[in-house]
């Protein structure tokens, strides 16, 4: 089996593919950042990776989002390069830097970046950042070439909440994006035999009110008009009111795939 081809097929057929453009939306980016704060993310994942950092380390964070890893790691590392294609996400990251001068934000897709322009870093990190990339071999080869010491790729298993709500409203099986299994085997076929560790993190789905929850899931599921009432009824059964907001809490398993050179 040629795993890179299987990866590309999974990207193309992913049920969540039409919802990826939300990550470029200003309101969604702010909501996403709120979710991370309420979930105490990245928690144990951050502590695991920080063990490999020192004050001399240079870090390349691919798909840095709103800075969940980049900002705390910059307090330890010598310098951090944060690559984030979403301008909405990158602006939030920049706004949270609070005078940190050792973070350089690059607002580009990883596929568009030339390795010689980026330059090598001691550690390369990609957290849930590769799902939309069809040419995974080229992406990985560039990551490997630019990592002097460590390569970390973290892939989370899709939440049960997403599976359940998809099935309830789409009435067909959920087709997931590429998984850690795809990635591990692509690396093997490139001659790289990585380590895998599992880390559990808490995820809180948090909404200011029911209207926000309905609007989010209507966009995320790409639902047409006329579904608002049934979606509202579904969410009213799932979400719990707490501290003036609506919550749904769950645990997510994360595959930490890493290579030490």
Q: Are 7 and 192 in contact (CB under 8 A)?
A: no
Supply the mean pLDDT for the chain.
Answer: 93
Least confident of 85-89, 143-147, 244-248, 255-259: 244-248
**Other C-beta atoms lying within 10 Å of the C-beta of residue 55:** 7
- pLDDT score for 37: 86
Task: Please tell me which residue, 248 or 186, carries the higher pLDDT value.
Answer: 186
Integer Cα distance of 255 and 12 in angstroms: 22
Q: Are 250 and 159 in contact (CB under 8 A)?
A: yes
Domains with residue ranges and CATH for the chain: 3-160+175-200+253-260 (3.40.50.150)
The predicted-structure confidence for 196-253, as pLDDT tens digits, reads as follows 999 999 888 899 899 999 998 998 888 888 899 999 999 999 999 988 889 998 889 9
Residue 257: C-alpha distances to residues 17, 127, 206 (Å): 23, 10, 29
Q: For residue 87, what are the contacts with CB-CB under 8 A and spacing of at least 6?
A: 24, 107
């Amino acid at each position: 089996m040629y795993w890179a081809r299987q990866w590309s097929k999974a990207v193309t057929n992913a049920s969540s593919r039409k919802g990826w453009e939300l990550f470029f939306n200003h309101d969604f980016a702010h909501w996403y950042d709120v979710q991370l704060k309420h979930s105490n993310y990245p928690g144990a994942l951050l502590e695991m990776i920080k063990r490999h950092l020192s004050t001399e380390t240079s870090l390349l964070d691919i798909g840095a989002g709103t800075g969940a890893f980049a900002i705390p790691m910059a307090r330890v590392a010598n310098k951090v390069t944060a690559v984030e294609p979403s301008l909405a996400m990158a602006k939030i990251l920049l706004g949270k830097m609070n005078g940190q001068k050792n973070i350089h934000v690059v607002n580009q897709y990883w596929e568009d970046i030339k390795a010689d322009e980026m330059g090598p870093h001691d550690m390369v990190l990609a957290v849930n950042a590769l799902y939309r990339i069809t040419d995974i071999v080229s992406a990985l080869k560039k990551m490997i070439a630019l990592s002097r010491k460590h390569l970390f790729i973290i892939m989370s298993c899709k939440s049960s909440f997403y599976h359940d709500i998809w099935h309830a409203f789409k009435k067909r099986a959920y087709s997931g994006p590429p998984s850690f299994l795809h990635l591990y085997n692509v690396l093997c076929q490139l001659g790289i035999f990585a380590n895998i560790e599992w880390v559990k993190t808490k995820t809180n789905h948090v909404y200011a009110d029911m209207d926000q929850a309905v609007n989010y899931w209507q966009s995320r599921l790409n639902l047409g008009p006329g579904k608002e009432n049934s979606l509202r009824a579904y969410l009213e059964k799932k979400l719990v009111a707490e501290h003036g907001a609506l919550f749904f809490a769950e645990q997510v398993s994360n595959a930490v795939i890493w290579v030490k050179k």
